[in-house]
Chains A and B, each alone.
Chain A
């Protein structure tokens, strides 16, 4: 029997080793306190963050950095809200200047209603960011050809959507996600659209290297408990994937011996 040593099952994006295969978003929480508690319960050591204007009027406004120490939890700056390459590049260059972050999440949306990614702008920006030395985790459609293209131009990770951002629909096209995983040498991380913990297990069982979740945790009635559920679901799904599942049979095959039955 093949031995699987989970301690040697390392999750690496570019040269960054992460302890958890679950990356969590920090949006939509009721308070920074709740954000910090959910991140802790999730076991994630990388979180996505957005770049926005400082509120210069309210000087006492609490800061995310006061609740999540970027020295302990890796920040992954994103370009949420950007609809073109120029805005996305501007946002990530500013993010890098805040504190030297080079690993970033690129997300360029093409449609306000579906929040579907604009792949033409996304590919254009990925090329520029890679040239500038960024390590780019790219949010993309679940199209295997675009995913391959992103890898070819230097993306550090491919992040196909499970379903539209914030929809909670779960993985809509398992076949495409499997094709992307099979074709990819860089990590494939499911991003967007998951609704509940079992969705994360399914993603991991398909062979995803990781999962990125925000709304499904933040909008649960009990976000802290859901964060822990996602943590367990990701571990469970990964173990299941590494175990190698049984073959599927069309008809019933009894689990107990057929001999020695009471007549």
Chain B
């Protein structure tokens, strides 16, 4: 298992998980979000390729109501 942070929350995931696996785990539709890994935006085509390491920080964002 690897200790990581998703949207500011500490959690653990299986070793060698990809961004794709994480979005699937949290039931997030990849078409409606953007993902940042350690401050770098990951393009949608790389979600399966990008593996998560210990201490990684992930941000998953979406659109909400705003002015």
**In the assembly, what is the distance between CA of A203 and CA of B31, in Å?**
38
Bound CA span A26–B66, Å: 5
Choose among A56, A80, A95 the residue that contacts B67 (Cβ–Cβ < 8 A).
Answer: A80
- Could you say which of A25, A56, A97, A98 contacts B66, with CB atoms under 8 Å apart? A25
Number of interface residues of B (CB under 8 A): 25
Q: Of A52, A78, A215, which contacts B61 at CB under 8 A?
A: A52
CB distance from B49 to the nearest CB of A (A): 16
Number of interface residues of A (CB under 8 A): 36
Contact A56 B6 (CB under 8 A): yes
Bound together, the chains give a CA A109 to CA B9 distance in angstroms of 27
Q: Which residues of B contact A78 (CB under 8 A)?
A: 66-67
- Assembled-state Cα–Cα distance A27/B32 (Å): 18
In whole angstroms, how far apart are the Cα atoms of A53 and B9 in the complex? 11
Q: How far is the CB of B4 from chain A (nearest CB, A)?
A: 12
Specify the chain B residue showing the minimal Cβ separation from A50: B66
- Contact partners of B34 in chain A: CB under 8 A: 51, 94-95, 97-98
User: Which residues of B come within 8 Å of A, CB atoms?
Assistant: 6-9, 26-28, 31-36, 41, 43-44, 59-67
- Pick 25 A–B contacts, CB within 8 A, sort by A: A27-B66, A28-B65, A28-B67, A29-B65, A50-B64, A50-B66, A50-B67, A52-B61, A53-B7, A54-B26, A54-B61, A56-B6, A59-B27, A64-B63, A64-B64, A78-B67, A80-B66, A94-B34, A94-B36, A94-B59, A94-B61, A95-B34, A97-B44, A99-B32, A192-B67
